[in-house]
Amino acid sequence: MSGVRPRELIPVDKSRDIRFLTIVSTLGRGGTERAAVNNALGYRRCGFPSAVYAYGGGGARETQLRAEGIPVFIGGEDPALMARAAADAREWGADILHLNRPGLPDTQSAAAVRALIHPRLPGI
């Protein structure tokens, strides 16, 4: 070999699980929403704490998440409701933010992610 070593895998300390927060606009019937739910369920089924922040409002897929024991933070059009959902999601303490959105970046999803950035992390 040329001296290059395969990258070592980083062991996950199961006493300190990585917390995943999936972010999506709503929990309606669309494909983006379905992907977000599948991601959140997948993290949970792999044994990691998983939650969902739907900054634009709830929807039909919310029931499935709650049935699986996944915390759901629901925003909406009311600024106070959106701020409360963001504060609750931030307090949940995610280590990884996973944004699900269709197509190009938009101001709403960028604002939702910015609202969740923990003070110890560099801003975006």
Residue 96 pairs in a beta bridge with: 20
Q: Residue 83 corresponds to which tokens in the numbers above? A: 């701020």
- What is the spatial order of strands in the sheet that 20-24 belongs to? 72-74, 50-54, 20-24, 96-99
pLDDT at 119 (0 to 100): 58
Query: What element of type H or E holds 73?
Result: strand 72-74
The helix/strand count (H/E) of the chain reads as 4, 4
pLDDT at 76 (0 to 100): 93
- pLDDT tens, N- to C-terminus, the chain (124 residues): 455 555 555 555 655 678 999 999 999 999 999 999 999 999 999 999 999 999 999 999 999 999 999 999 999 999 999 999 999 999 999 989 999 998 877 888 888 888 887 655 555 4
Determine the Cα–Cα distance for residues 23 and 29; give it in Å rounded to an integer: 15
Determine the Cα–Cα distance for residues 98 and 44; give it in Å rounded to an integer: 14
- Predicted model pTM: 0.81
Determine the Cα–Cα distance for residues 34 and 45; give it in Å rounded to an integer: 16
